[in-house]
Amino acid sequence: FGVTMPRGGRDRRLLARLGRIADAAGVPVLATTDALYAYSDDRDLHDIVTCIRERTTIHKAGRLLAANGERHLKPETEIARLFRDRPDAVAQSARLLSRIAFTLDDLKYEYPHEPIPAGWEAQDWLEHHVWQTALERYDYRVPEKMLKLLYEEFALIRERNYAYYFLTVHDIVRFARACDPPILCQGRGSAANSVVCYLLGVTSVDPMKYDLLFSRFVSSERDEPPDIDVDFEHERREEVMQYIYRRYGRDRAAIAATVIHYRPKSTVREVGKALGLTEDVTQRLTSTVWGSFSNRFQEQRFAETGFDVDNPEIARLREMVDRLLEFPRHLSQHVGGFVLTQGRLDEMVPIHNGAMDDRTFIEWDKDDIDALGLMKVDILALGMLTCIRKAFDLMRVHGHGSHLLDTIAVAEDPRVYDMLCKGDSIGVFQVESRAQINMLPRLKPRVLYDLVVQVAIVRPGPIEGDMVHPYLRRRSGKEVVDYPSPDPKFGPPDELRQLLRFTYGVPLFQEQAMKLAIVAAGFTPNEANQLRKSMATFRKVGGMNNFQAKLVGGMVARGYQAEFAERCFKQIEGFGSYGFPESHALSFARLVYVSSWIKCFHPAVFCCALLNSQPMGFYAPAQLVRDAVEHGVTV
């Protein structure tokens, strides 16, 4: 036990009194300064943040603000000067700190041990499930390529001790499908690169068919846990979440947090209110472009909106906004990322009660979780799954048969593609925006993989990487599809064709960029994954330039022309503006086809299901009804 002695300024007599009480009781005293911010220059910013929190202005805050500017972290010499009359308090603080040797590396995370039959190991039970499905699906003649993939994945799962994790996700999906009525669900994202996930029924994409890259999901060369995302009907996801809480208990299951940061418009608005500016002034200020506040363009924008850039009040607001941008503002809950543990959560991570009853979330975000090696299961909500389920229910009730996602997706009816080629896709999943509607007649999809491209191509990454027009020209036969070859001593002449044949030699997906780096430039799988991460964060933190020399140099060293290598890098760099993973696009393409099929053959059912699943999609109910009328539906 001890008594803290905070030094705040006007407290000499209080410190003396605390010291006498502690000495009389034989209790040691500790020196503290109750710091609220790091540097003395941050006092004015702290005052603004206090006003934002208390919903008042700097002119009315009064005693809500710190009495002086001394609430910052102080160096050792300053602490010794402040507590010169009690050097023992300083020594006790140093002694206490020396005894606190905890680091985050001390956390020992253990994933929950899923119940398995007596006499089985988790890995063996997982493999049993997978082999059972594989033998049934392939009529006891599992293809050689599938066998090779399975053995590779099993070996890595065993090596990294991930069997329990896969069994957890399998159990969650099993629960959803066993409900009455079943909850539609399907995996998405990098998990679709795994044949184990495919055969467990977690994902619906066959990685063998599309040569998907398993190292995009899990790799032996990087110490990152797998991350499986599963979409559920958005109206029934809570049933799945409550199942997880019931099974593991709130002491062992919680949702990850999301850190909400100060963003330009909201920061301008809140700082303006804290400074006492009127609502109309802050509204006009938010219409300016905020980002870098020191260039002429910003000053010109201020002048255009009628503000004097030399006005001290405006200058102060600009400075405060500039300093506050990207600060953490508050914690929110992740959309559905569950962290599960074998022991108590609160013995390892800070936890918080959610606003909703029976909800717990941990106070770390997904990046913290990844850094510490905690495994997360993403239970996500997707409105289109709700719409499809309601459409299936309506068709069954009104005598149009019973349907499943898998049976419809396999059918590939040309009449569905005829409809899409006309740009007739209002309400259809992922291809209903104006940009997608304009692209459909140009791309002219005829098979499922064309929908994969359709989903991915209308994105900033392919557009900025100059991939869209070359792809369309090659697809339509207006441009020759060329696959440059390496020097024969380094690789086969068709190595690029094997990588890019589905997209006419144009790298449209993250996995293709990774495989290109591995095969054509000699990257290791881990280096290719670092390249992928740089693509994902390029616009925010940069880093792509670190790979330019290695990628271009590696390709040139293997016999590719420098101009071609540079062009490949520029295309890959475009993914920094958001490019789709191929596995993700494949998962979504199935739902594009299923929703298109319902719209094509059952437009009344489709419209009704959409209306009953609102809010979702791009269009207001009146527009959906008008589109249904144009398809011959009587309203």
**For residue 288, is pLDDT > 70?**
no
Q: How confident is the model at residue 297 (pLDDT cuts 50, 70, 90)?
A: very low
Q: What is the DSSP letter of 158?
A: H
> Contact, 338 vs 249, CB < 8 A?
no
- How many CA within 13 A on the CB side of residue 377? 27
Judge if the upstream peptide bond of residue 615 is cis by omega within 30 degrees of 0: yes
**For residue 293, is pLDDT > 60?**
no
**In the structure encoding, which two tokens stand for residue 561, read together?**
């022309």
- AA identity, residue 74: K
Looking at residue 536, its pLDDT comes to: 65
Angle at 47 between CA 44 and CA 49, to 5 degrees: 115
Place of tokens 């102060």: 316
Q: What's the pLDDT tens digit per position in 137-154?
A: 999 999 999 999 999 999
Contacts of 427 (CB under 8 A, 6+ apart): 595, 599, 606, 607, 610, 617, 619, 624, 627
Q: What's the pLDDT tens digit per position in 87-124?
A: 998 999 999 888 887 888 888 889 999 889 999 999 99
- Classify residue 444 by burial, with Cβ atoms within 10 Å: 0-12, 13-18, 19+: middle
Q: How confident is the model at residue 296 (pLDDT cuts 50, 70, 90)?
A: very low
> Contact, 264 vs 371, CB < 8 A?
no
Looking at residue 576, its pLDDT comes to: 59
**For residue 436, is pLDDT > 70?**
yes
**In the structure encoding, which two tokens stand for residue 97, read together?**
């700190």
> Contact, 240 vs 255, CB < 8 A?
no
Q: Which range is least confidently modeled, 1-10, 69-78, 185-194?
A: 1-10
Average the pLDDT over 396-407 and give the result.
Answer: 90
Q: How confident is the model at residue 271 (pLDDT cuts 50, 70, 90)?
A: very high
**In the structure encoding, which two tokens stand for residue 339, read together?**
């962290």
Q: Tell me the C-alpha distance between 333 and 466, whole Å.
A: 37
Containing 231, the helix (H) or strand (E) segment is strand 227-233
**For residue 3, is pLDDT > 70?**
no
Q: How confident is the model at residue 294 (pLDDT cuts 50, 70, 90)?
A: very low
Q: Tell me the C-alpha distance between 453 and 140, whole Å.
A: 33
Strands 227-233 and 185-188: antiparallel
Q: Tell me the C-alpha distance between 395 and 598, whole Å.
A: 10
Q: What's the pLDDT tens digit per position in 12-68?
A: 777 888 888 988 998 998 888 889 999 999 999 999 999 999 999 999 999 999 888
Q: Which long-range contacts (CB under 8 A, 24 or more apart) does 74-82 make?
A: 74/33, 74/35, 79/31, 79/33, 82/7, 82/31, 82/33
Looking at residue 545, its pLDDT comes to: 75
Q: What's the pLDDT tens digit per position in 509-559?
A: 888 888 899 999 999 888 888 888 777 654 555 567 778 889 999 999 999
Average the pLDDT over 225-238 and give the result.
Answer: 94
**For residue 385, is pLDDT > 60?**
yes
Listed residue (279, 301, 304, 280) closest to 292, CA to CA: 301
Q: What's the pLDDT tens digit per position in 57-68?
A: 999 999 999 888
Q: Tell me the C-alpha distance between 229 and 293, whole Å.
A: 39
Q: Tell me the C-alpha distance between 259 and 262, whole Å.
A: 10
> Regarding predicted confidence, which is higher, 626 or 105?
626
Map out the domains of the chain with their CATH numbers. Answer: 3-41+50-105 (no CATH), 122-260+331-382 (3.30.1900.20), 263-325 (no CATH), 404-455+583-630 (no CATH), 460-579 (no CATH)
**For residue 441, is pLDDT > 50?**
yes
- AA identity, residue 77: T
Q: Tell me the C-alpha distance between 527 and 550, whole Å.
A: 10
Looking at residue 440, its pLDDT comes to: 97
Looking at residue 225, its pLDDT comes to: 83
Q: What's the pLDDT tens digit per position in 501-517?
A: 999 999 888 888 888 99
**For residue 410, is pLDDT > 90?**
no
**Mean pLDDT over all residues of the chain?**
88
Percent of the chain with pLDDT over 70: 93
Looking at residue 289, its pLDDT comes to: 54
Q: What's the pLDDT tens digit per position in 325-368?
A: 888 998 888 888 999 999 999 888 999 888 787 788 999 998 88
**In the structure encoding, which two tokens stand for residue 532, read together?**
């992928």
Secondary structure (3-state) at 326: coil
- Classify residue 58 by burial, with Cβ atoms within 10 Å: 0-12, 13-18, 19+: middle
Q: Tell me the C-alpha distance between 402 and 404, whole Å.
A: 7
3-state SS, one letter per residue, for 417-441: HHHHHCCCCCCCCCCCCHHHHHHHH
> Regarding predicted confidence, which is higher, 114 or 127?
127
